[in-house]
Amino acid sequence: MATYNPAQPQVKKDSKVAVSRREARPYVNPYLGAILLGIVLFAAFFITGNGLGASGGMNRVIVYFEDLIAPSHIDRTPYLLEMAGGDKNPLDSWVVFVGVGVVIGGAISGWANGRLKFVTDRGPNIPVKLRWLMAFLGGALMGYGARMARGCTSGQALSGGATLSVGSWVFMLAVFAGAYALAYFVRKLWN
């Protein structure tokens, strides 16, 4: 029987439903992964003239549904008018296709490497429902923050950082500082 060691956090995995019976392969070396990501980012800039990002695509999906429900609101809001005003389709953007590609590519990679499964990772003392609630709240705050910062961590850190944007570097320093400051208060979700 394993004993609890605070230096080694114990994580429960609930609702483990394997979609694939393949044996999980080891993760790629992080240095090789960073090099491959750099090549993909360079190719994105070179081929499309745009970097990588995700929040813009999700934002456009939300605006698409908003346009179905309240088109007059879209036509009165300058920020939304740019994306979906009049006959414009907000889904007609490269960033939407990047998001779809990430989901499809991630699913294929997970399946090919034996990691495609549904699981809730959590600390040993937190109920599954609370873990899901906190994940939802964290995601909602991050999504709101991404729109306020004019980009998510992938867009700001990768694309903005690669172009040496001062705002992107400040954003990432703020993200790390905020994460370290908040970690103390949410540590019970994992211990």
Mean pLDDT (the chain) is: 83
pLDDT, tens digit (0-9, with 9 covering 90-100), for 138-169? 888 888 888 887 778 778 888 888 889 898 89
Choose from 52-61, 98-107, 120-129, 137-146 the range with maximum mean pLDDT.
Answer: 98-107
Q: Say if 11 falls within a structural domain.
A: no
* pTM, rounded to two decimals: 0.70
Polymer length in residues for the chain: 191
Check whether residue 158 and residue 185 sit in a common domain.
yes
* 148 three-class SS: helix
pLDDT of residue 32: 96
Same domain, 128 and 158: yes
* Ranges of H-type helices in the chain: 30-48, 55-69, 71-76, 78-84, 94-112, 128-148, 153, 161-162, 166-186
Domain containing residue 97: 20-118
> 142 and 174 in contact (C-beta within 8 Å)?
no
Domain count, the chain: 2
Rounded Cα distance, 172 and 110, in Å: 28
